[in-house]
Structure 1
Amino acid sequence: MPSPLVADALRRLTADQRTVIVRAFFLGQSVAELATLLNVPPDIIRARMYYGLRALHLALQQTPS
């Protein structure tokens, strides 16, 4: 389970970005598995992951320490 800080930052992502990031990083699913499961091309999964990680990084930077 992510820390409360990470969980809060994850809530700021779009549902699509959050789904891909949680399933890839916390459940260990591959891009190919996610593409099949979500019925979208692998490039879309990679894009959601890229932009989601960027947004997550920014959200974590904005969180007061």
Structure 2
Amino acid sequence: MISAENPAVRYRKQVSDALRRARELRTELDRLERRLQAVAPEVATWLPFAVTDQEAVVHRLWGVLDDIDNQESY
């Protein structure tokens, strides 16, 4: 079992927190996008990408942390 002091556990929590914040940001960007559609539709078209790339990075980090966990269990 991995202790709470283990860096992999700490990093996993940080990644989990980052993903939660990314989802919250996505919700805010969706609201902003709807508002912008009414006044500046051309600006609203790029807003979804602000979070999409961030989430891809977070998901990639999650995979790396899984690999670290697997290596430490041997």
Using the size of structure 1 for normalisation, the TM-score is 0.49
Question: Which structure features the higher share of helix residues?
Answer: 2
Larger Rg: 2
